[in-house]
Amino acid sequence: MNRFIWLGLIVLLVAGIWTAGWFYAAAAARTAIASLAEGDGETAPTLSCEVLEVTGFPFRFDLSCVGATIVDGDLSATIAGLKGSVLVYNPSHAVVSAQAPVTLADAFTGSESRVDFTGAEASIRLQSPDLWTGLQGKGWRIARASLIADGLNWTDTLTGENLIASAIHLEAHLLDMPERHEPEKGLSALAAYARLDQVQAPAFDVAGGEVSLEAELSGLPDDLRALDAPAPLRRWRDAGGQLRIVSLKGEAGEDFVNSTGTLALDSAARLEGQLQLTSKGLVERTGTLVPEDWKGLVLGAPAADGSYSQTLNLRGGFIFAGLMPVAQLEPLF
């Protein structure tokens, strides 16, 4: 038989196997997503779609969920549309986009709100110790996860249309910290960076504000499959996990608030640690949220330039300002 005929047959065979494999994987993905709607919304969140499609043949998987509804206990959210894309030859990198609006409701408090935006896109890239381990579905951990959104508006819709907050731009990133990876213990750590530009919050008289966060989260499992295991907070505590706030800043004109500190969980599952807080203009902006007699205690005494500073200690189930307990902490599990 002519060698070109053999070559043609091989090409057809490979194309047939590829096609069958793509449609098999697409059907499996569709079934897996559809099964997320079968839960009770109490023991685990549910996701349902008015229209669910899987397209992108032959080199991509594009999963589209129009009219998405997420239910988690008393909380529910509806999203106009969600779309996720993965390249067949690079399955460790996924891109997800959302369409506005997003409506939020809390059956317990009765609150209702809506989030509008002009664009929102997230991406996640995973890594594994080696190719063979990854092909077995083991050892995948986050290398980088990012979220970027523009034209954000969060509106209270319970009684009319009341703006809660808005921002021109949101950017958030999670980055793996390879120097903190402990494979023998199955632990990893992530660095977090986030910022909000041109923040408006009428209730706090904030206009043109800037917010930024830099933090580190340690004691995380280095295999994403562990996130489905029960009691993730208990495992995080037992692993010695910590949330280190390197810098949390908020600025609006001459007013500001800065915070640093470290938080963890004690043996009774209560937050423990220490927070350092400096601010200017925050006392005036808290309004009735903090009783007048407590503002100086919580935020500290004023300095000559009008700024305040305070150290808050969390221990034994209480928040202390100096030696004075100002709030009680409940266990997180």
- Which tens digits make up the pLDDT trace of 162-203? 999 999 999 999 999 999 999 999 999 999 999 999 999 998
pLDDT at 11: 83
One domain for residues 276 and 140: no
pLDDT at 60: 94
**Helices and strands in the chain: count of H runs, count of E runs:** 5, 17
Give me the phi and psi of 149, to 5 degrees please: -145, 150
Q: Look at residues 203, 222, 253 and tell me which one is the last residue of a structural domain.
A: 253
One domain for residues 231 and 109: yes
DSSP, collapsed to helix, strand or coil, labels residue 307 as coil
Burial zone of 209 (CB within 10 Å; 0-12 exposed, 13-18 middle, 19+ buried): buried
One domain for residues 153 and 12: yes
Tokens of 77: 């959210």
Instruction: Tell me the whole-structure pTM to 2 decimals.
Output: 0.87
Q: Look at residues 200, 225, 253 and tell me which one is the last residue of a structural domain.
A: 253
pLDDT at 24: 94
Domain that holds residue 326: 254-333
One domain for residues 157 and 284: no
DSSP, collapsed to helix, strand or coil, labels residue 242 as coil
One domain for residues 130 and 36: yes
The residues facing 309 across adjacent strands are 278
One domain for residues 225 and 274: no
Q: Look at residues 200, 231, 253 and tell me which one is the last residue of a structural domain.
A: 253
pLDDT at 289: 67
CA 142/CA 139 separation, integer angstroms: 10
**Closest to 252 in 3D by CA, of 302, 198, 304, 289:** 198
**Closest to 212 in 3D by CA, of 246, 243, 189, 254:** 246
Number of domains in the chain: 2
Q: Which residues of the chain have pLDDT under 50?
A: none
One domain for residues 173 and 229: yes
For residues 50 and 66, is the Cβ–Cβ distance under 8 A? Answer: yes
List the Cα angle 66/91/94 in 5-degree steps. Answer: 45
One domain for residues 156 and 192: yes
One domain for residues 230 and 286: no
One domain for residues 50 and 169: yes
Helix (H) or strand (E) holding 60: strand 60-72
CA 252/CA 207 separation, integer angstroms: 7
Percent helix, strand and coil across the chain, each rounded to 5? Answer: 20, 55, 25
One domain for residues 270 and 230: no
How many C-beta neighbours within 10 Å does residue 49 have? 20
One domain for residues 236 and 303: no
Helix (H) or strand (E) holding 305: none
**Identity at 95, one-letter amino acid code:** V
DSSP secondary structure letter of residue 302: B
CA 163/CA 101 separation, integer angstroms: 14
